[in-house]
Every structure is written in C-alpha cells, then in structure tokens.
Amino acid sequence: MNPDRIDALLQRSLETGRIPDDATAEERVRLAPLLAAAASLKLNATQVAQEANAAMPTARARFQRTLAQARAAEQPPVRQPVAVGQSRGGLLSRFTGRRGFAFSGAIAAAVVVAVFALVLIQPFGTVETASALTVDDYVQVDGVVSANDGNTVTLQSPALGDITVAVTDQTAVSDEHGERTLATLKPGDSVLVSGVVTARRAIAASNLAVAAGNATPPPEASATPKLLKQYREGLTGLVRVLALSPDGSHARILLVTPREQLLVDIDKAAMDRFLAQNPHPVGATVRVVEAPDLPKGVFRLEGAPGASATPAPEVTSPQFENVRGVVTGRTGNVYMVRTDRGVSPVVVRRTTTIRVGDSGLTLEDVLAGSPVVGHEVSVSGNPDAAGGRRIFATLIVVLGKAN
C-alpha cells in the first residue's frame, strides 16, 4: 500500500469529514480508524477550549474581588520620628515601605488564588458528569438535539445536561424510515446515542437512532446524582444512562426516580443478563436487587414492568433494533444469526462493543468467527437502510452455547 496515497486520502478525509469514494476497500480499512481518531482529537480540543472559556470569567472575578479587598484594607502609614543616626532602611524599603510589601504580598496571594481557581474549575466537571461519563467507557444515553455544526451535534440530556456528540461517516444513523445523515439532524430530534466517551462531556458516536416526531429539550436535572452505597428495599426507577467499562469488568447505570437520581454499580454478570432480557435498556423501568455474594455497593437489576418512574414522553422514544438468536456462520465481518423470525446478518465494526460474559469465549474468539458459532447472542444496533434484516451492531452480548 502506497504511503503517499494514504496520506493524500487522509488529507481529503479530514477536509470533508468522510472517506473519499475512490478509496479501495483496503484503503478504507486503513483510513477508518485514523479518521475516527482525528474526530476524537478535534472533539477533545473543542471541549478544552469551551471549558477554559467558561472558567475564565469566574477566575477573573475572584482575582478582582481579592485585589479589591487588599486595596480596601490599606491604611495610610503613620509617620514615625526617626532618631538621628537611625537607619531609614535600603532604597527598596524607602520606596515601598511596609505597606508596599503587604500590598505586593496580597497581589501574589490573589494571583495564586486566581490561578488555582482557574485550574480547579477548568478540568473537573460536576459530580454527575464525572461519575456518569468516564473516558473510554461505552455508553448509551438519550436526549434531544439542540444544535448541529456539521461535525458534531449538541445533545441535551435530562440527566447530564449538554453533551457534544461527534458523528462521522462511520456512525450508523437511522430513523423509522431508514438511513439518516448528520446533515439531516436538526434541533428537536429525539435521539438515542451509543459510543465511547472521549472527554468529560463528549462522546464519539458509533450508532444513533432518531425517534419519530420532535421533542422539547428536557430541563436539566437540578439534583446532583449520588452513588448508591447501601441497599434500599423496593428501589425502582428509570434507566437514563448505561455505561460499560472497556474491559467489561464494570457496569453502571444512572437511575432516575421521582425524587432523585442515583448512580448504581451493577454486577457484570447481572448486567449481561439484563441486556439479554431487555433489548431497550435506556428507558427501561428496573428494580435494584441486593445480592449477599456481591461486594458492598454492587447490585443486580430486575425488570419492573408496570412501574412508572416518570411521566410518559410526548414522542416515541428512540431505540435501537434488537435481535436474539444463535450464530450460524460468518463471512468477513458479517455474522449470520438465526432467530425465530429468520436469519439476520449482523455487521460487526471496529466501533462495536462485545461482551463475552460467562460464555467461556474471549473477544479474540468472537472476532475470529468460528469459536462463536453455535452460541446464543443478543444484538442491538441500527437496521440497514437497504432493507432486509441486516443490523449494524453497536452492542453484542454473547450468551452460552445453544442447546
């Protein structure tokens, strides 16, 4: 493969945001991760700039208040007689006096306070965003589009506030009528996003589902979510955010009840079972269950049908399509899954998250293809606009060997 050719194609991809049509299949494989990485870097740079700009007025105001207090505290110096032969001090002390040193000290202290305030404010977010969105985690979160700049969309989440979502030509986007593009996303669109967290309030989207109809941006939650540490009998609520660690060892949900929001750590095996039994986890009403065999602060989930934690939405909730069946074969990156309704081709991409759970397989086994044949899987993703039953997978949970 010609490096100059790849460089030229990459440059064109960065300028347009998509891989050129004349790129070969092999070149597309090389360019896709490079373009995704570039989008993440651009997104992170935008986030840092926005956070720094937001922090500057606060830091400046604190500095000015400290400086004003130091000036207000000054008192006119009292002239003291100087005895003959008494030293008047050096040139610097005669020029500034004790007052000058005190004032200089106040300025230095104010500068330190201001710089510390800027550093403290800028890189760290509020409790809920720092805990609910962890860099490199796979997440699913819903919300309403409030802006689209042609490279990213701003998502207003009722649980997390504004989130910047990077959408590339590698992101599967669709609604009930078929494929959508980034350009067609508009304020008021109700969407469900899945992808990897790249910054404090940023997600690189792998899949995006758009609901029918428009929605009013939800008010941002006023209460700060708390981490659930002790079991509460009968705790039921609505799942608003789903988060899975890259190695699959940790899982967390943001649970919304009529009175509060809670971050709940879920046992990984229990999470796999929940995902397999609940094709639409975000928006599901669940019950938190205690388990004596789990570490303190880790719980299980059960579906709670019939319970209502929040008022019904005005529009249809956006959801990914789900299939559950047995893998019968693989061709390239397309896995054939036999379901009760027929065979569904499942497209596994670089951005697809795979959970092997207690299946006895490794991620390498699944990607190899042959070892996963005969295993039951639960798949969620976007349907192919071309028709048929093909799905572009965002999340695959590998269950046990089928009987």
Tokens in use for 9? 């194609």
CB contact burial 243-262 (16+ within 10 A = b; e otherwise): bbeeebebbbbbbbeeeebb
Among 214, 244, 264, the domain-final residue is 214
Write down the pLDDT at residue 310: 42
Give the residue ranges of DSSP H helices in 188-293.
Answer: 268-277
**Residue 361 falls within a domain, yes or no?**
yes
**Residue 115 falls within a domain, yes or no?**
yes
**Residue 135 falls within a domain, yes or no?**
yes
Q: 239 with 287, same domain?
A: yes
Q: 4 with 119, same domain?
A: yes
Write down the pLDDT at residue 179: 87
**Residue 85 falls within a domain, yes or no?**
no
Mean pLDDT, residues 21-30: 76
Q: 103 with 165, same domain?
A: no
Write down the pLDDT at residue 138: 95
CB contact burial 110-144 (16+ within 10 A = b; e otherwise): beebbeebbeebbeebeebbebbbbeebbbbbbbb
State the CATH number of the domain containing residue 138: 2.40.50.140
Element housing 336 (H / E): strand 334-339
Q: 24 with 100, same domain?
A: yes
Q: Give the residue numbers spanning the domain of 346.
A: 321-401
**Residue 397 falls within a domain, yes or no?**
yes
Mean pLDDT, residues 311-322: 67
Q: 181 with 206, same domain?
A: yes
Q: 274 with 337, same domain?
A: no
Residue-level length of the chain: 403
Write down the pLDDT at residue 289: 93
Write down the pLDDT at residue 128: 37
pLDDT, tens digit (0-9, with 9 covering 90-100), for 248-285: 889 999 999 988 899 999 999 999 999 988 888 999 99
Q: 210 with 235, same domain?
A: no
Among 271, 303, 335, the domain-final residue is 303
Query: Rounded CA gap, 57 and 125, in Å?
Result: 16
Which tops the pLDDT comparison, 107 or 348? 348
Q: Tell whether the torsion through CA atoms of 160, 161, 164 and 167 is positive or negative.
A: positive
pLDDT, tens digit (0-9, with 9 covering 90-100), for 120-142: 333 333 333 336 788 999 999 99
pLDDT, tens digit (0-9, with 9 covering 90-100), for 27-63: 777 777 777 767 655 655 555 555 555 445 555 555 5
Q: Which whole-number Å values give the CA distances from 124 to 43, 130, 201, 283, in the listed order?
A: 17, 7, 11, 28
> How many domains would you assign to the chain?
4
Q: 66 with 177, same domain?
A: no
Torsion angle (degrees, nearest 10) of CA 29, 30, 33, 37: -160
Q: 261 with 198, same domain?
A: no
Write down the pLDDT at residue 62: 57
Tokens in use for 53? 């700009």
Q: 246 with 148, same domain?
A: no
Percent of the chain scoring above 90 in pLDDT: 41
Phi, psi of 20 (to 5 degrees): -55, 150
**Residue 314 falls within a domain, yes or no?**
no
pLDDT, tens digit (0-9, with 9 covering 90-100), for 162-216: 999 999 988 999 988 888 889 999 999 999 999 999 987 899 999 999 987 666 6
Element housing 11 (H / E): helix 3-16
Percent of the chain scoring above 70 in pLDDT: 69
Query: Rounded CA gap, 158 and 155, in Å?
Result: 10
pLDDT, tens digit (0-9, with 9 covering 90-100), for 83-110: 434 434 443 343 344 444 444 444 444 4
Tokens in use for 266? 């879920």
Write down the pLDDT at residue 9: 78
Write down the pLDDT at residue 39: 64
Query: Rounded CA gap, 25 and 342, in Å?
Result: 29
Write down the pLDDT at residue 169: 87
Q: 106 with 134, same domain?
A: no
Question: Given a cut of 90, is residue 389 above it in pLDDT?
Answer: no
282 burial via Cβ count (<10 Å: 0-12, 13-18, 19+): buried
Q: Work out the pLDDT band at 303, boundaries 50, 70, 90.
A: confident
Which tops the pLDDT comparison, 257 or 6? 257
Write down the pLDDT at residue 67: 59
**Residue 308 falls within a domain, yes or no?**
no
**Residue 88 falls within a domain, yes or no?**
no
Give the lowest-confidence range in 140-144, 159-163, 218-222, 349-353.
Answer: 218-222
155 neighbors 145 (Cβ within 8 angstroms): yes
Query: Rounded CA gap, 174 and 383, in Å?
Result: 8
Mean pLDDT, residues 346-367: 90
State the CATH number of the domain containing residue 279: 2.40.50.840
Write down the pLDDT at residue 119: 39
Q: 117 with 131, same domain?
A: no
